[in-house]
Amino acid sequence: MPAETQGVISLLPALFAIVLTLVSRQVLLSLFTGIWIGATILVGWNPIGGVAYSLQLVINNVTESFNSKLLLFTFLSGAMLGMIFLSGGMNALAQRIIARIKTRKQAALGTSVLGMLIFVDSYASTMITGSVMRPITDKFDISREKLAYLLDSTTSPVVSVAVVSTWVGFEVGLIREQFASLGIDQSAFVVFLQSIPFRFYSLLAVVLVFILVVMDWDFGPMKRAERRAKQEGKVLGDDADPLIETREEDIVTPDHVDSRWWYFAAPIVTLVAVTGFGLLYSGGWPGQVPVEALKDAATADAILWGVFSACALLLAVLVGHARVELEAVSDAIFEGFKMVMFPVAVLSLAWTIGSVSEALGVGPFVVSVAQGVITPELLPAVVFLAAAIISFSIGTSWGTMGIMFPVAVPLAYQLGAPLPGAIGAILTGSLFGDHCSPISDTTVLSSMFAGADHVDHVNTQIPYAVLCGAVATGLFLASGYGVGSLALLGVGVVALFALAYYLSQHADVSVPTAFGSSSDSD
C-alpha cells in the first residue's frame, strides 16, 4: 500500500459498493462496480484499463496465500455440510437438543452461549454454531436475520479478547512490534490483558446480545424480521436470497442409514481439536510456551487442517459405519460445493475491494484527518472512530489493526496517553467497523452459515452495532479524562440496557432500515 493517499476519493469505491449493495441487493454486481471504480482511479481514470486491472486485482486477491486457504476452507466446509446432511447426523442431534429446549428464548440463548464457548477461532465458531443451531432456531421460528446477528456478535467479539485464540497471537505481535520500535520495556502480553477492559465495543456487543435475548427486545428492521418469523412462521423474508442454500431435501439420507447424533458431533469435535492443536503446533509448540506459539501460529493452515480432518472422518463414518455408497457421498460433496459457490464469489470480491481501498490510501487519509483533532484526552475516542471508519471501508479487522498500530501507538506514547486505552481503542474499533460492513469476511460468513440474506443481515445488524458503538464512543471520551475502565463498563451496561428498552418501544419510528428497505414490511 502506498504511503500517499488519494484523499477523500479513497473512500469512494467502498462507499459506492456498500450503498449500491444495500440499495439494489445485488451483491456481486455492486462489489465489482466498486472495484472497477477504484481500479479506474488507480490506472489514471482510464475506464477500459480499469476493467483489465479489476480482473487482475481479483486474481491477485484470490491467489494470495491466506485468502486461497480460506476459500479452500469454505469449499471443504461445504463438502462437510453435504456429508453431514447425507448422514442425517444434524437432524439426529437437533432432535436431541430440541427435546431439551422448550422455548424461543432458550434456543437463542443456546446459540449465543455456544458461539461464545467456541472461542478458538471466529471462522470455526461461526461455522459450527450456525450449522448446529440453524435447524433448532428454525424450529422455534427465530428469523435467519436474528441467527446471523447472534453468530456475528458472539464469535469475533469473544475471540478477539480470548487469551487462547487465533487472534491473540496477531494482536500481541502488533503490540510487541511497536514496543520494540519505541524502546518500551513492557510485556506485550501484559498490556494486551490490560487493554481488555477498554474493549468497550466488543464487550458491550456481547452484553447487548444477552439483554435482547433475555428481555425479548428487538428494534428497527430486526423487530420486523422477528415479528414476521413469530406471526407467519417465515424465518426468511419473501424476497430474501440466502447466501447459502441449506435445503437438506437436496441431499437425501439413504433409507438404510440409522442416523446417529455423533455422525454430526464427531467431525465437529475433530474440527475444533485439530484446529487448536494446529495453532499450537504451527507456532512451534511444544518448543515454545503456548502464548508464544499462538503468536507465530499459521491460522489459515490450522483451520484448514481442522476442516480437512473433519471431512476425512465423515467420509470414513459414512462408508465404513453407515454403509453409504461412494457415489452417494461424492454427490453429497458436490452439492456441498454448490452451496458455497456464492459465498466464495462474495468473499473474493470483498477482499478485492478492500485491497483497492488500501491501494488508494484510505488508511493514511483517515489517520491524517484524525491526527488533526487529537489531544491526549480525545485520543481514545478518535482512534476508536478512525479504526471503525477504516475497517468499514476495507472490510477487515486485521488489516485495520495493521494500519492503525504504527500510527496510533507512537502517537499515544508521545502524547503521554495510557497505552492500554489506545490499544483497546484500535482493537475494538476495528471490530465495530467490521460489524457494520457488508464487505467484511466475518459478516459474509455469518450470513452464510445462518442461511440468511446477506443484505438483510447487514440491515438488521447495523442498528445494534451503531448502538454499541455510540455508547462505546462516550465511554472512550470519558476514559480520556481519566475515568476508570471498569466503572465505565458498568455505566455502559446500564446505558445500553436503558437505550435498548427505549428503542424496543419505539422501534419502527426510531430506527429505520439502515439503507434502502428491508425485505419485510409492516
Q: For residues 426 and 449, give the distance between their C-alpha atoms in angstroms, rounded to a whole number.
A: 28
CA neighbor of 343 nearest in space, from 27, 16, 14, 4: 27
Q: Are 425 and 387 in contact (CB under 8 A)?
A: yes
- Report pLDDT for 247: 52
- Report pLDDT for 42: 92
Amino acid type, 14: A
Q: For residues 93 and 104, give the distance between their C-alpha atoms in angstroms, rounded to a whole number.
A: 18
Question: For a pLDDT cut of 70, what percent of the chain falls above it?
Answer: 91
Q: Give the pLDDT confidence of 52-108 residue by residue, as tens digits.
A: 999 999 999 889 887 888 788 878 888 888 898 898 887 787 778 777 888 999 999
Q: Give the pLDDT confidence of 323-342 residue by residue, as tens digits.
A: 999 999 999 998 888 877 87
Q: For residues 352 and 31, give the distance between their C-alpha atoms in angstroms, rounded to a whole number.
A: 9
User: Quick one: cell of 17?
Assistant: 459498493
Q: For residues 387 and 116, give the distance between their C-alpha atoms in angstroms, rounded to a whole number.
A: 24
Give 193-225 as a 3 state SS string. Answer: HHHHHHCHHHHHHHHHHHHHHHHCCCCCHHHHH
- Report pLDDT for 521: 40
Average pLDDT of span 16-32? 78
Helix axes 122-139, 89-98, angle to 10 degrees: 70
pTM for this model (two decimals)? 0.77
